[in-house]
Amino acid sequence: MKPALNTPDWVLAALQERRQQDLMRSTITLDSPQVPHPQIHSQNYTAFCSNDYLGLANHPKLIKAMNDTAQAYGVGGGSSHLVCGHLAPHQALEEALADWLGYERVMLFSTGYMANLGVISALADKNRPVVQDKLNHASLIDGALLAQAPLRRYLHGNVTSAQKLLSKYSTAGLLITDGVFSMDGDIAPLADLSQLANQHDWMFMVDDAHGLGCLGENGRGCLSLAGLDAASLPILVGTFGKSFGTAGAFVATSHDYAEYLTQFARPYVYTTAMSPAIAGATLASLQLVQSVEGQERRERLARHIAYFRKRVQTLPVTLMPSNTAIQPIVVGDSKAAIKISERLKDLGIWCTAIRPPTVPVGSARLRITLSAAHSDEDLVLLCDSLERVLTANFLNEKR
């Protein structure tokens, strides 16, 4: 029998406060692969909360590539890239990504969070400030905090606000934004921000975790949509856990920046390299993203987005302005968002309510995410279910 642990009162109080505010989080276990129709608690659902935007997480070509690479190179990286953990699959993936995006170098990281912590903590410090969008991902904010850099956040998507903040500093620093904002689904004004950074001689960094693979020409994300290149966007972060359907992350940059990060990005220096099997699967995913099949999947996803927005705009809810796979419906109150999520589960739809602190207080929402792997029938079911749940009579049925 396990011994009882003496939990501090402040831990219990913090948990109780979360419960009272309807902000308690918990882990859900899937009994199936990451597919549009998962099994959860032995029940079948149609899920609209995964970031598997192209539906590649369970693709047979990725599974085969992972198995083949594991047979040839094993499963574990063994050590950090700089000791003896950089294997041929890692190198092949880095070179393929650099060629695809038009950068001199690519560096692999174990997660997107680690990539952002590593880059920002290496490039910013007490004398090199950070200015970033108010709705940037938590990892971008935490990177600046880790660097102990002066940090200011401009109004969301507002280039004028960013300009005012940059003008307050006498020394150049790091201007950072998400490409696609993970909770709102809108796209940053990258071309204008790039020009602003260039005018002030600031470094410009974009985290395009939710854009790469499913947006832009050949899936090259917000970089392509904004007409930017390696010169106008010198530091690009991407992840593999969304459109690529695998795990891990990368930084695309110049030779000089890559050499600097190799010396000073602590999460890169001191973390075991990603599994070579994952690198092999990700290379297969990249090839799919660039293929005819990848283009067809992007087109199917675009059709799903258009259909969803057309249907939901007639409902009495606030649908945020997004043309990406992320389609948030703002509810406001956390308890109401949870209630709607639970009613959707009753109808076989799995869509988690997103609440503070992930989103600002008063903006709890259903973060609906669409995938190319969804069928037309799945979209009809989702919209029909939302229409039913968002009527007052149905919400009153189980009070």
User: Which residues are catalytically annotated?
Assistant: 182, 210, 242
Paired tokens of 374? 């969804």
**Residue 69 annotated as lining a ligand binding site:** no
Of 144, 99, 83, the residue nearest 119 (C-alpha): 144
Q: Beta-carbon neighbour count of residue 375 at 10 Å?
A: 13
**Residue 137 annotated as lining a ligand binding site:** yes
Cβ burial, residue 370 (10 Å; 0-12/13-18/19+): buried
- Residue 117 contacts residue 111 (beta carbons within 8 Å): no
**Residue 112 annotated as lining a ligand binding site:** yes
Q: For residues 133 and 271, what is the distance between their CA atoms, to the nearest angstrom?
A: 28
**Residue 170 annotated as lining a ligand binding site:** no
- Residue 209 contacts residue 238 (beta carbons within 8 Å): yes
**Residue 352 annotated as lining a ligand binding site:** no
Buried b (16+ CB within 10 A) or exposed e, 77-103: beebbeeebbbebbeebbebbbebbeb
**Residue 257 annotated as lining a ligand binding site:** no
CA dihedral 177, 180, 183, 184 (to 10 degrees): 100
- Residue 91 contacts residue 283 (beta carbons within 8 Å): no
Cα Rg, the chain, nearest whole Å: 22
Of 109, 95, 101, the residue nearest 249 (C-alpha): 109
**Residue 318 annotated as lining a ligand binding site:** no
Q: Beta-carbon neighbour count of residue 65 at 10 Å?
A: 24
**Residue 113 annotated as lining a ligand binding site:** yes
Annotated binding site for substrate: 25, 137, 358
Annotated binding site: 25, 112-113, 137, 182, 210, 239, 358
Annotated binding site for pyridoxal 5'-phosphate: 112-113, 182, 210, 239
